[in-house]
Each structure stands twice: as structure tokens, then as C-alpha cells.
Amino acid sequence: MTPIRYSHLRAIARSPMHYRAAVESPREQTPAMRMGTIVHGLVLGGGQTVVYDGERRGKAWADFAAAHEGREIVTASEVARAVPIADAVLADPVAGPLLRAEGARREETMAWSMDGLPCQGTPDSWDPAMGILLDLKTCADASPRKFAGHAWSYSYHAQLAWYAHALTLAGHTVRECLLVAVETSAPHGVTVHRLSPRALEEGTRAWRAWWEQLRICITADQWPGYAESICTLDVPAWLEEDDGADD
């Protein structure tokens, strides 16, 4: 069985059908996702990408892509745009020391099992001496007010809670979970966000609910979509409120 990763588990929040599709047919990287991958590589190290010195079109591109099938291909121009973003992260007085901490384990894949099912995950950074679990995120707005909504909508709190649980199973003590947010547009603002105990508790509740649904689907080998009956479409509450505003 393919190990269960957080990106797949999160898909079941949409529907079991979307979970199975995520496992069987990994989605193609968008430009924003590629930029995040490049920034991660520049900040955290590792050779996950292959650089193509040209545009993503034509026979030369097709030949290069075929020769590097299965690898994440980025262009030289994309790398050039990512460099100042990565530099901003490493130069930040708070984020930089955390990411350069001696003894921190960067992008090390963990493997564990729950309820007899194999799991796998790759935290961006785990510092066992400090007990700090950290994830790096690229975004449009890293400010505390705006990023909070972005983090919640993408369930970053559940992702860190998922990794923290795996580390706990391995006998580690997780003292802090941090999100380093960096803006992809100049001047590339950086903010380090600490997840509160309440946020982590909600993140744990979320991934456990998805996990239980996944176990049911695996046992029954049934992967339904959004609904298995007719749904009623009514006037949205917000529209009714707008209609009464002029009375």
C-alpha cells in the first residue's frame, strides 16, 4: 500500500473521491507551487529540482522533459525569481537563525504507521534539541492578520499537528510548531508564526476526522464524491441579508 501522506489525507476533506484521485494521479505543479519548491530547495538544501535553461515550449523542452521524467523541472528564469525570496528568508533576524540552527534536520522523510496503515511525511525542519517543528510557506501576504486566514484555509495547522504526532510516536517532544511565511512579491516580507495550543488542538481534530473517514473508505473500498443523494439549493443567507439592507 502506498504510504499515506498529509497532502493526500487533506484531499479527503473535500471527498473520498478526491483522495483517491490525489493518490492515483498526482496533480501537475502550478507556477506558484513550483516557486515554493524552488524556494524550499534554496533555503533548506537538497536537489529535488532539475534546471532547464529555456522556455517551457517547443521540441527542446519536450525532449528535456522526457529525459527527466519524474523529476521536478524548473527554468533558469524561475530560479532567478526565487533567489531574492530565499535570501529574504535567510536574512530575516528571526527566521534565519531558526532555519540555520545547528543540528536541525531539514527535509528528512519520516515513516510511521497508525492502525496498521503506513504513513510518510517530510517536515521542512525539525530541531530535536530545541523541540521546534517548522514549515516554510510562500504566500502573497505574510502579515499576521492576512496569513492567518490563508493558513487556516490551507489547513497548515492540521499539517503541523500531523507531523507533530508522528514525531511524538517516535519518542520526541515537540515544544513549538512554527510557520515561516515569506511573500513572493518584493520586498518579500517574512513573518514567523507560532501555532497556539488551541490551533494545534483544532489541527489534530481535523486530521483525526479525515483519518477516520479514510479508514472507513479503505475497509469498504468505497470512494464516494460530495453526496450520494439529491442536495437542496436554497437562497444563500448572505443574499437574503443583502436584500433586506435597503428596506
Per residue in 149-183, pLDDT (tens digit) is: 999 999 999 999 999 999 999 999 999 999 999 99
Give the C-alpha separation, 157 to 160, whole Å: 5
- Condensed to tens digits (0 to 9), the pLDDT of residues 175-212 reads 999 999 999 999 999 999 999 999 999 999 999 999 99
Strand, coil or helix: what is 136?
strand
3-state secondary structure of 234: coil
Instruction: State which residues of the chain have pLDDT below 70.
Output: 46-48, 65, 67-72, 242-247
Burial of 101 (0-12, 13-18, 19+ CB in 10 A): middle
pLDDT at position 41: 86
User: How many CB atoms lie under 10 A from the CB of residue 190?
Assistant: 21
